[in-house]
Amino acid sequence: MKRWTKYIGTRLFYMALTLFIITSATFFLMNALPGTPYNNQDRLTQVQLDMLNKKYGFDQPLMQRYVNYLGNVLHGDFGVSLQFSDQPVATLLGQRIGPSIQLGLQAVAFGTVIGVFLGVIAAMHQNRALDVFCSLFAITGRSVPNFVVAVLLQFIFAVTLKWLPIGLWDEGFRSTILPTLALSISPMAESCRFIRTEMVEVLSSDYIELARAKGMSEIRIAFTHGLRNGLIPLITVLGPMTVSLMTGSLVVENIFAIPGIGEQFTKSILSNDYYTIMAVTILFSALLVSVIFLTDILYQIIDPRVRIEGAK
């Protein structure tokens, strides 16, 4: 128990250190960007620019602004959006995180289930037609950008067949189907590739041969006995992939006009909205390091053969 406490404490320290470094790097990089975040900058006089800089604290020395920003972040204050009527960034992102989380979770859940199924089928038919098809699908899914898939889905199911809405977020679950499918291609291909590789090795193990000798069907062997061990390596990539889809679906959210964090992040970059860019970066980083930490713990619990250093 003490070793686990020490391990968790050490990991939490490194998580905090990582977030500190990312926050600091993001702050200085944002302040190195050319231009200003003000609308119609060319129409503003120098007096007006000076007033705005004083209002938002841009007239202070860089290190003083840095220290102030760190102190505010520790209290949950990420500043105000310079493009949205001085609205607090935390409130702005809080209103938009829901659609991003929903899309990310749906895409990972759907993509993982289908990808695992295809991976098992490919391993059961190694070096045969189904295996070749699934392998080609995995390669294609990893190679084709999700925004290309999004446009194709819109053209086929929204424009041509008119089965689903082409975009927006006002028709309930129907509005989430096409963007979910577009985002699910990546986790589907990744899961298929991982499971196929692991299952090929697992299905040649001694305990699988023993199950065959007992007269069990290949499907039961694969999905009941083999898949349990084949899923373990997939856990290491599912967590970061989920976070990436929840906060990184920038182009897809814009294509489908979804009011999520991705769309907000894109607009913030185009307008040099410093505080919003920094807040999204910190949010993504915090989610990522937290998921990696939980994945390590889950990996240890699921597979007792693996011993995390410090937990022995």
* Domains, the chain: 103-271 (1.10.3720.10)
Can you give the pLDDT at residue 311?
47
Q: pTM score, two decimals?
A: 0.77
Cβ atoms 256, 168 nearer than 8 A? yes
Can you give the pLDDT at residue 233?
73
Cβ atoms 251, 300 nearer than 8 A? no
Name the H helices within the chain: 2-31, 46-56, 62-74, 89-124, 129-143, 146-153, 174-202, 206-213, 218-220, 227-230, 232-248, 250-255, 261-270, 274-302
Tell me the CA distances in angstroms from 28 to 75, 157, 300, one per residue in order.
Answer: 20, 45, 38
Can you give the pLDDT at residue 289?
86
Q: How far apart are CA 253 and CA 255, in angstroms?
A: 5
Cα–Cα nearest to 291, from 10, 9, 3, 15: 15
Can you give the pLDDT at residue 67?
92
- For residue 287, give both structure tokens: 């989610």
Mean pLDDT for back-to-back runs of 10 residues, the chain (312 residues) = 76 90 91 73 74 82 91 88 80 84 86 89 85 86 84 90 83 85 88 84 77 78 74 75 69 82 77 85 86 77 56 47
